Chains A and B, each alone.
Chain A
Amino acid sequence: MSVIEIKNLTKKFEVEGHTVTALSGINLSVEKGDIFGIIGMSGAGKSTLVRSINYLEKPTEGHVLIDGVNLEELSEKELRKKRSQIGMIFQNFNLLEQKNVIDNVCFPLEISGVKKKEARQKAKDLLKLVGLEEKEKAYPSQLSGGQKQRVAIARALSTNPQILLCDEATSALDPQTTASILGLLKKINADLGITIVIITHQMSVVTEVCNKVAIIDSGRLVEVGDVEKIFENPESDAAKELISGKEIRYTPVQILNDVKRIRIVFQENSAYEPVIANTILKLQAPVNILRADTRNVNGKAIGEMILGLPEGEELQNSIIEHLQNSGLFVAEVGENE
């Protein structure tokens, strides 16, 4: 049974007499232990989607099931109880500015009616987990962005949730701090077995920590699956754009008009062999490297390259074949894509 199941979810907003469809017909399952990335450009509807998971936004149509329980069928009180079992962190941290660190972490427990002494102990343990045990008396204004997010994570974990929702949790942080927060999320997932849903617009966040990814474009789910598979062979335009960046679409057409372009993806093993050089030597044909990048996908180094092939269909085909035989994933890149 999936931990989170989203069935045919549609969300419409009334804005000044107009109906705006933020999400339409979304189907998703998140399995226990997943770190599930939901990625899309701003305005794609991903924040609405994550808020639907704990019913902060009630869907216009469709259902959300948490551990098989349909949230629609819960009373207001039961829904609040359910929410308290789903942790959530935010882009702007949303800490209580007038409470110190430990009181912030205790806050969800206070709401749930846990005894103060018990809550304090739990909060102390969690602050240790996130590496902030010395800051328990500090106020949020005295902390850096990364520290604030750590407090927010400790707070979100205080009720022992099985699910943690992260809404652009690293978008306000610098790259180094982002990496450390992502590391922390990974650790929480591995050590505590908490299922994590990460909303982001940064592909690097997805490749860094997620094992599954869903791509949202204009309120629709356009692609979903294992991160590695989608990284190797993105099918939707949105996925391609998120992976390779927008600039590839604007490569001057004239220069490359007659040249066939392919995108190759290296797996770990093939990254050690000089595949391109071998191809050139063997086929005596020059290839033009238009773009190259290496990324860490789930701890594996995966290389990506866009090559311009010389003219001649036969030659092009044999180059592609040779590359494929070397264990690379090859896909054609369309004109102006």
Chain B
Amino acid sequence: MNEQVIKMLLEGIKDTLYMTFGSVIIGYAVGLPLGILLYVSSEKGLRPNKVIYHVFDFVCNIIRSIPFLILLILLIPFTRLIVGQSYGSTATIVPLVICAAPYIARVVESSLNEVDAGVIEAAKSMGASNFQIITKVLLVEARTSLLTGFTITTGLLLGYSAMSGTVGGGGLGDIAVRYGYYRWQTDIMFVTVILLIIIFQIIQNVGTKISLKADHRKR
């Protein structure tokens, strides 16, 4: 393997991490409030609201039911509008975020649903406002589950970012498609796959460790 290839792979790793974490962070910026909104407006939530719940519930389901690869193509005009181009790693972040946000919202909603209703009632009995219940009870008590969800989402987006390589998305997936598929250079494809596995393992292990460390429920 020559120096050029190594340089390209390093560049690929950088792009992959950029796309993955870029989309996960922006995805959470959108998905976390959305998940909280779903939780709060649900039937058993802090302020039930059927209309709000069903609208966002529906939107989440629609987006989640579109396969990512198709979403990627569908969103090309939108991506071009926002980023100015439809290829490259920055452009890929747009469909990744749109794919991830509803997924994150669901993960967050289900994490919040796990919080014991008794604890919320206790907080209410102390005179906590709904905002305080969200920030000081729900997000704190659901911390472990939220971190686990974050790890899973990051892993998922790593995979999706690689998928975007098929339409010129950049990163390791792009390299794998260009060299492995179009040029029959199986060795390069092999290396990129191994690199993706390693990155995935690191994300998963670090995530699990952090969420375990943050959990005080166990002795």
Chain A residues near B (Cβ < 8 Å): 54, 56, 80-86, 88, 90, 92, 94-100, 107-108, 110-112, 139-142, 159, 165
Q: Is the CB of B125 within 8 A of A56?
A: yes
14 residue pairs A–B, Cβ–Cβ below 8 Å = A80-B129, A83-B124, A88-B122, A88-B126, A92-B118, A94-B121, A95-B122, A97-B217, A98-B140, A98-B144, A98-B217, A99-B216, A107-B136, A141-B217
Given contacts A80-B128, A83-B125, A83-B126, contact A100 B118 (CB under 8 A): no
**Cβ-closest chain A residue relative to B122:** A94
Q: How many A-B residue pairs have CB under 8 A?
A: 75
Measured between C-beta atoms, what is the minimum distance from A81 to chain B in Å?
Answer: 6
Known: A80-B128, A98-B141, A141-B217. 4 other contacts (CB 8 A): A80-B129, A94-B116, A98-B215, A141-B216
The smallest beta-carbon distance between B112 and chain A, in angstroms, is 14
Q: Given A94-B121, A96-B137, A139-B216, A112–B143 Cβ distance below 8 Å?
A: no
Q: Which residues of A contact B218 (CB under 8 A)?
A: 141
Q: Are the CB atoms of B219 and A88 closer together than 8 Å?
A: no
- From A88, which residue of chain B is reached at the shortest CB distance? B125
Q: Which residues of A contact B215 (CB under 8 A)?
A: 98
Closest CB in chain B relative to A189 CB, distance in Å: 19
* Bound form: Cα–Cα A98–B116 in Å: 12
Question: Do A97 and B127 have beta carbons less than 8 Å apart?
Answer: no
Which single residue of chain B is at the shortest CB-CB distance from A159?
B126
For B133, the closest partner residue in chain A by CB is A111
Chain A residue at minimum C-beta to C-beta distance from B125? A88
Interface residues of B in 80-130 (CB under 8 A from A): 116, 118-119, 121-129
- Name which residue of chain A comes closest to B214, CB basis: A98
Taken together as a complex, chains A and B put the C-alpha atoms of A139 and B218 apart, in Å, by 9
Complex-state Cα separation, A139 to B140, whole angstroms = 14
User: Closest chain A residue to B117 by CB distance?
Assistant: A94
Residue of A nearest to B132 (CB): A111
Residues of B within 8 A of A83 (CB): 124-127
Supposing A99-B140, A141-B217 touch, asked if A90 and B128 sit within 8 A by C-beta, the answer is no
A100 to B118, CA, bound (A): 18
| Chain A positions within 8 Å of B219 at CB level | 141-142
- Whether A96 lies near B141 (C-beta < 8 A) is yes
